[in-house]
Amino acid sequence: MRVIPARLIDLSALALRCGRVSMVMLGYGLAFGASAVAARWRRSPHARGLRNGDRWVRMLTHLGPSYIKIGQLLSTRRDLLPDDVTQALSRLTDAVRPPGRRRIERAVRRSYRNRPWPFREFHWEPLACGSIATVHEAVTHDGRRVAVKVRRPGIDRMMQRDFALTAAMMGMLGVLPPLRQMPFRLMHAQVGGAILRQLDFEAEAASLTVLRDNLADFGNVHIPAPLPELCTSETVVMEYIGDLRRFEPDELAVNTRQSAVRAVLAAVYEMLFVDGIVHCDMHPGNIYLDRDGGLVILDAGFVIRLPEPVRRSFADFFINMVMGDGSMCAQIVIDSAAQMADDCDLEGFRASLRTLVEEASGAKSGDFDLARFAGRLFELQRRFGLYPVPEFAFPLLSLLVIEGMIKAFDADVDFQAEAMPVLRRRNLPRVAAANLER
């Protein structure tokens, strides 16, 4: 999916989109503010104010797919947000309001306009509906039962406009004196571009194949196989996996919860530390259990391949964090920084990061808070004048998303120690390997 430069996007359409986003945010901002004031004034236990999850869902839905994606990711953070907010936001994972049937049918038939129609049956009522696509059951002419992911009509234009708007906002932030040295434009190009690449369904079909190949040795992890000969730029056709169910912590036995958590962690660590592949969308709408208790990972739209230097640096940082070696963590951050301020205080950064790593080392999932750790790490970088490469955001985002689920399912799992078997198998740099032998 080609990213269109902001200057080439229709300015009138961009202005309309900017106006709509501004009006929606202003309207809901006033509603939230009034509700919060009323709740405090009445002191009513039933007044929800900012905890009104249904209102958050309506606001994000009105804002559009880019904002719905934010809500999906936030829905996993039950440890950071109130339950009535995260429960409402979880509806955004696969129950977003679908387009009308005529629009869906027109989009699907248009995508096959230059080739024979491949389906004997097609169920136009979606099985699931997310921010970017709907998913439908179908049967091919040769009798194969398949799932068909269909891109929402017109979503590419809307997300391109949102990309242009956020680029403008990043540009404005970059002129503020305290933030001038932050690489906002580079960060936006990397992260925003990755979000836009979710519209590239040909790339998603290829990512499904890569994930299946890389996790083939995990007998308890199942990823649907794509059918490349039936995929188009607007549809992904893949094998149909039935008997899936959404799992909630209180619905499963303790050993089943623990097994599911460790399966997720093992798969994520294998992708991240060994293959350099980051699945940034591991929310509950994309993770299911099958009837045998195996893990099923659906959707590969938000999958990023890390540059090799970033993969190695992140893996080295993680293993040294687990080992409690704050000095080595600091050196890895310094060596991999995208840029440094003229008044960068390296010694101050080293001392502060040593303290942070010592506090985090060996903590269990219930005690170790990755969101807080990442926030403090970024604050240290900002305070002492080091700015990381933008690609570091992707593995952190992936781990932040699954951390929310892990805390809900098994607060006692050792989030860091579970990575050690994978980290030991990868080709560690000489210094990290020496640490393992101590």
48-93 pLDDT, tens digit per residue, is 566 777 888 888 888 777 777 777 666 655 655 677 777 787 777 6
Please report, for the chain, the start and end positions of each structural domain, with discontinuous segments joined by +.
Answer: 6-92, 244-438
Write out pLDDT tens, residues 180-234: 555 556 655 666 677 778 888 988 999 999 999 988 888 788 899 999 999 998 9
Tens of pLDDT, residue by residue over 24-48, are 878 877 787 777 777 667 665 555 5
% pLDDT > 90, the chain: 21
DSSP states of 85-133:
HHHHHGGGTTBPPPPPHHHHHHHHHHHTTTS---EEEE--S-SEE-SSE
Q: Specify the length of the chain in residues.
A: 438
Mean pLDDT computed over 323-334: 92
What's the confidence (pLDDT) of residue 401?
Answer: 76
Residue 68, sorted as left (phi over 0), alpha (psi -120 to 50) or beta, turns out to be alpha
Return d(Cα 332, Cα 312) in angstroms, integer.
Answer: 10
As a whole number of angstroms, the distance between CA 294 and CA 241 comes to: 12
Q: Return the minimum-mean-pLDDT range out of 8-17, 117-126, 182-191, 247-256.
A: 182-191
pLDDT-based confidence at residue 124 (cuts at 50, 70, 90): very high
Amino acid at 194: A
What distance in Å separates the CA atoms of residue 191 and residue 302, rounded to the nearest whole number?
11
Residue 135: the pLDDT is 93
Q: Is the pLDDT of residue 331 over 70?
A: yes
DSSP SS3 for 297? strand
Cβ contacts of residue 62 below 8 Å, gap of 6+?
A: 24, 28
Amino acid sitting at position 159: M
Side-chain half-sphere exposure of 263, counting CA atoms within 13 A: 22
Which pLDDT value is given to residue 377?
86
Instruction: Extract the tokens encoding 116.
Output: 């024979």
Q: Looking at residue 240, what is its pLDDT?
A: 94
Task: Specify the pLDDT at position 365.
Answer: 55
| Model confidence at 243: pLDDT above 90 | no
Q: Rounded distance, CA 381 to CA 416, Å?
A: 22
Average pLDDT for the chain: 79
